[in-house]
């Protein structure tokens, strides 16, 4: 199988530690066993979307997203000689006890898990249970919440290490190399006083009241290093990380088997006040990306060796300018534009028609935009850097190039009235009717800890709760000018906005094969799952509940039989000159 030529094998080095965490003698790094994954989280709310997700959510229609940085961490560790096990209990649909039994069976020395605010309290409990059942197992937690509040993890659980910042695929190798090879420890690691495996002199220390010892010193190695060269990462080992778990059940795919890429960390705009990755693991000034050549090499690798038919690149925003042009040219000149469809995240005002046309020629199909709101005051407050007109012009240009635009929209802003929310819904409906939008995801805005929006909430007393568990997007956690329960009505209304005669006619007439028909049915099932996600009855209703179908049918039928909106004339008047494109 093709290897990444940018990586050189690590020469054998003398071990500084001669036993593993269980006290058994070791002779090489291959004797050190590291598990990377996610403990199962069972909930009546549905499947938890924890991996590769900037905004945590439970889905009734199961979706499993390939966790890119954990997968690079596993592959990088294996590349450096460690024995690695992939244990995504969520994607493997395991029960917690089953997952624990597997962890015991592999005799792991270390376990790395990614967490987020809405499930961190669950993880505190799981850490306590893991330490009780496997006292020798060293636990390493990573992710955006940990990066913002690393000390909180030590206060509420018997954790061993917190790795902060978004480069934990590099940092976990550095931490273990520090322990076993004596390598200098980079910034971003937190540990307890008295940890005999850590030889580094602390760059900082804080005395905390912890659950283990009362008052305890927690050391750290300084600010996280976010300057690693991404081109030096090995290709993700798709076999090791069980890529097929994530190859089918994902609404971003039309053609399967499909997979993910992650070409940049994370978004070159890097300013949106609600984006937790922009302000914790990949803060302003830390953006980096693969070279076009490095990205193309991994694309070629997965197509040639795994028969991948579609790829979604989940960098916060795909690189633009000369890099995008070069990547497209590589796809075209090699003929891989005929072998695989490509998708990416993009900003409405990032590229012009010339670039969209090039992307279409290069085999791009799916393009995802963060619309967020149809109100300019909200776009400005979020530091989105876009104009209302861009939400029409960008997707319209993409459509002309043959791409399928997908938009993400949020409702429930403290400063938006019910009428403002309805305006956003009307714009989405107009764009669906005109054919500018193909698909959409609707969510409730969440002010995650670590974001400027969260700080504004605290300053202005907007928070309805401080319970992390309730930041799971199943309810509003910020005050709104209208009753909180109205958010469900608005979310269902937004998800139904596509339902116009024009849109449905296009979908039916666009069926060219059995595959097209199956895809349309699959997307219909996903839609109903999202309507169930935001049903006012929440966990009191399900797929077989008459109340749910009554709510959903009412919303869908209302849009179908009243397809015009109050903003039609305004949006019809929009011209390309109303948008200032970056390119």
> Does the structure show a pLDDT above 80 at 5?
no
Q: What pLDDT is recorded for position 17?
A: 95
Per the CATH hierarchy, to which homologous superfamily does domain 29-220 belong? Response regulator (3.40.50.2300)
> Does the structure show a pLDDT above 70 at 583?
no
Q: What pLDDT is recorded for position 563?
A: 84
Q: What pLDDT is recorded for position 8?
A: 42
- Two tokens at 52? 């590769």
pTM to 2 decimal places: 0.96
Which pLDDT band holds residue 13 (cuts at 50, 70, 90)?
Answer: confident
How do residues 290-347 score in pLDDT, each as one tens digit? 999 999 999 999 999 999 999 999 999 999 999 999 999 999 999 999 999 999 999 9
How do residues 90-106 score in pLDDT, each as one tens digit? 999 999 999 999 999 99
Q: Give CATH 3.40.50.2300 domain extents, the chain.
A: 29-220
CA–CA gap between residue 20 and residue 109 (Å, rounded): 7
Q: Indicate the average pLDDT of the chain.
A: 95
Residue 83 three-state SS: strand
How do residues 66-83 score in pLDDT, each as one tens digit? 999 999 999 999 999 999
> Does the structure show a pLDDT above 90 at 245?
yes
Q: Nearest to residue 114, comparing CAs of 57, 60, 49, 176? A: 49
SS (H, E, C) 138-204: EEEEECHHHHHCHHHHHHHCCCCEEECCCCHHHHHHHHHHHHHHCCCCCCCEEEECCCCCCCCCCCE
Residue 226 three-state SS: coil
Q: What pLDDT is recorded for position 578?
A: 92
> Does the structure show a pLDDT above 70 at 2?
no
Q: What pLDDT is recorded for position 287?
A: 97
> Does the structure show a pLDDT above 60 at 11?
no
Whether the Cβ atoms of residue 369 and residue 408 lie closer than 8 Å to each other: yes
Mean pLDDT score, 146-168: 98
Phi and psi at residue 101, to the nearest 5°: -60, -40
Q: What pLDDT is recorded for position 582?
A: 56
Quickly count: other Cβ atoms within 10 Å of residue 132's Cβ: 9
Phi and psi at residue 340, to the nearest 5°: -145, 145
> Does the structure show a pLDDT above 70 at 454?
yes
CA 581 vs CA 96, 350, 393, 434, 465: distances in Å:
49, 6, 10, 22, 40
Residue 261 three-state SS: strand
- In order, the DSSP letters of 289-342 are E--HHHHHHHHHHHHHHH---EEEE-SSS---THHHHHHHHHHHHHTGGGT-EE
In this prediction, what percent of the chain has a pLDDT beyond 90? Answer: 95
Mean pLDDT score, 145-157: 97
CA–CA gap between residue 149 and residue 432 (Å, rounded): 41
> Does the structure show a pLDDT above 60 at 143?
yes
Q: Give CATH 3.80.30.20 domain extents, the chain.
A: 251-578
How do residues 381-390 score in pLDDT, each as one tens digit? 999 999 999 9
What strands lie across the sheet with 33-38, from one edge to the other? 83-88, 33-38, 110-114, 138-142, 161-163, 189-192, 214-220, 204-210
> Does the structure show a pLDDT above 90 at 58?
yes
Q: What pLDDT is recorded for position 4?
A: 58
Mean pLDDT score, 417-443: 97
81: left (phi over 0), alpha (psi -120 to 50) or beta: left
Mean pLDDT score, 513-537: 95
Q: What pLDDT is recorded for position 10?
A: 47
Q: What pLDDT is recorded for position 6?
A: 38
Q: Which CATH number fits domain 251-578: 3.10.20.30, 2.40.128.20, 3.40.367.20, 3.80.30.20?
A: 3.80.30.20
Chain-centre distance for alpha carbon 192: 30
Buried-state track 485-497, b at ≥16 Cβ within 10 A, e below 16: ebbbbbbbbbbbb
User: E strands, 362-417, where?
Assistant: 364-372, 404-411
Residue 517 three-state SS: helix
Q: What pLDDT is recorded for position 12?
A: 57
């Amino acid at each position: 199988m093709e290897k990444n030529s940018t990586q050189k094998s690590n020469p054998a080095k003398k071990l500084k530690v001669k036993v593993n965490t269980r006290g058994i003698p070791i002779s090489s790094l291959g004797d050190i066993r590291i598990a990377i994954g996610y403990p199962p989280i069972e909930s009546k709310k549905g499947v938890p979307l924890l991996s590769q997700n900037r905004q945590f959510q439970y889905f009734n229609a199961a979706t499993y997203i390939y966790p890119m940085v954990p997968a690079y961490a596993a592959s990088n560790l294996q590349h450096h000689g460690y024995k690695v096990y992939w244990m995504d209990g969520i994607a493997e649909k395991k029960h917690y006890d089953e997952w624990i039994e597997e962890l015991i069976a592999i005799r792991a020395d270390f376990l790395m898990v990614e967490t987020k605010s809405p499930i961190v309290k669950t993880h505190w409990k799981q850490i306590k249970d893991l330490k009780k059942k496997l006292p020798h197992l060293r636990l390493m937690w990573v992710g955006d919440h940990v990066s913002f509040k690393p000390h909180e993890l030590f206060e509420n659980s018997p954790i061993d290490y917190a790795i902060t910042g978004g480069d934990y695929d590099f940092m976990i190798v550095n931490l273990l190399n520090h322990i076993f090879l004596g390598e200098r420890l980079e910034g971003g690691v937190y540990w307890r006083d008295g940890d005999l495996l850590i030889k580094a002199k602390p760059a900082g220390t804080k005395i905390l009241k912890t659950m283990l010892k009362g008052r305890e010193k927690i050391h750290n190695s300084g600010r996280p290093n976010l300057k690693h060269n991404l081109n030096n990462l090995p290709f993700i080992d798709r076999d090791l990380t069980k890529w097929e778990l994530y190859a089918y059940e994902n609404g971003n795919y039309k053609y399967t088997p499909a997979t993910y890429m992650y070409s940049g960390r994370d978004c070159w705009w890097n300013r949106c006040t609600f984006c937790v990755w922009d302000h914790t693991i990949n803060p302003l000034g830390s953006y980096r990306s693969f070279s076009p050549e490095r990205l193309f090499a991994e694309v070629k690798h997965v197509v040639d060796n795994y028969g991948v038919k579609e790829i979604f690149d989940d960098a916060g925003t795909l690189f633009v300018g000369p890099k995008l042009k070069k990547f497209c040219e590589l796809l075209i000149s090699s003929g891989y534009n005929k072998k695989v469809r490509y998708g990416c995240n993009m900003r409405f005002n990032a590229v012009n028609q010339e670039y969209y046309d090039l992307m279409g020629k290069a085999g791009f199909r799916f393009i995802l935009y963060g619309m967020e709101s149809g109100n300019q005051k909200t776009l400005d407050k979020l530091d989105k850097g876009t104009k209302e007109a861009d939400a029409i012009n960008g997707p319209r240009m993409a459509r002309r190039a043959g791409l399928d635009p997908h938009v993400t929209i949020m409702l429930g802003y403290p400063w938006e009235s019910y009428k403002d929310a309805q305006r956003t819904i009307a714009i989405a409906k107009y764009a669906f009717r005109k054919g500018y939008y193909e698909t959409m995801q609707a969510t409730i805005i969440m002010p995650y800890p670590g974001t400027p929006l969260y700080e504004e909430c605290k300053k202005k007393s907007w928070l309805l709760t401080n319970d992390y568990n309730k930041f799971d997007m199943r309810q509003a956690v910020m005050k709104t000018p209208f009753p909180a329960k109205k958010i469900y009505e608005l979310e269902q209304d937004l998800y139904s906005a596509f339902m116009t005669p024009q849109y449905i006619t296009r979908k039916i007439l666009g069926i060219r094969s059995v595959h097209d028909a199956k895809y349309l049915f699959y997307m219909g099932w996903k839609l109903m799952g999202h309507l169930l996600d935001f049903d006012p009855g929440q966990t009191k209703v399900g797929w077989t509940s008459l109340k749910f179908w009554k709510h959903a049918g009412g919303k869908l039928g209302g849009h179908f039989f009243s397809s015009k909106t109050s903003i039609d004339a305004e949006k019809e008047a929009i011209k390309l000159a109303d948008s200032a494109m970056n390119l």
